[in-house]
Amino acid sequence: MAHDEMAALVAELAGILEPRGLRVATAESCTGGWVAKVLTDRAGSSAWFERGLVSYSNAAKTELLGVPGALLESEGAVSRAVANAMAEGALARSHADFSVAISGIAGPAGGTPDKPVGTVCFAWASRGGARDSVRQHFDGDREAVRAASVVTALAGLIRLARGAEGTVARA
């Protein structure tokens, strides 16, 4: 069921981005590139998918996305602040118009009392200045947490792109 939902969300996103010549980039940690995978499962996605960055380690978050080490140390990788920095970094290091970032604890281990397994932080950003972030908790095993994260990431991209529908299309 989740895969059908993902495909439907991708189709909806493509229908918003492609006619306007807009593109998206991903910055993923706990999903390990799953968002990029479902985006590129759609034939013709090269017209609107710009790139995907998997930054699983803290070093990768710093090196690939420019997330400050001090921020990672003070907030932890699974935080809205780090997800925001990842989304900003994806925009800064791409030609995309929109980005999504995901960092979380998919389990089965790695949780803490403050950040239990199933805690996932998301951030979305646009070149037009729109920003959003959220911290969610998903129940289930590793696969369920990651699948729910992909669906949440895609739904957020659609909301962001829909909010920008009045903007001028890329030349």
Each residue of 120-168: pLDDT tens digit? 999 999 999 999 999 999 999 999 999 999 999 999 999 999 987 544 4
Each residue of 46-95: pLDDT tens digit? 999 999 999 999 999 999 999 999 999 999 999 999 999 999 999 999 99
User: Strand, coil or helix: what is 27?
Assistant: strand
* Domain 2-135 fold: Maf protein (3.90.950)
**Phi, psi angle pair for 48, to nearest 5°:** -140, -5
Residue 1: which pLDDT band, with cuts at 50, 70 and 90? low
Each residue of 8-57: pLDDT tens digit? 999 999 999 999 999 999 999 999 999 999 999 999 999 999 999 999 99
Token couple for 28: 């993923």
49 within 8 A of 40, measured Cβ to Cβ: yes
pLDDT at 2: 86
Pairing of the two strands 98-104 and 49-54: unpaired
Q: How far is the C-alpha of 141 from the C-alpha of 46, rounded, in Å?
A: 32
The angle, 0 to 180 degrees and rounded to 10, between the axes of the packed helices 58-65 and 80-92 is 40
Other CB atoms closer than 10 Å to residue 127's CB: what's the count? 16
pLDDT at 168: 40
The identity of residue 126, as a single letter, is S
pLDDT at 109: 96
Pairing of the two strands 49-54 and 24-28: parallel
Q: Is 142 exposed, middle or buried (0-12, 13-18, 19+ CB in 10 A)?
A: middle
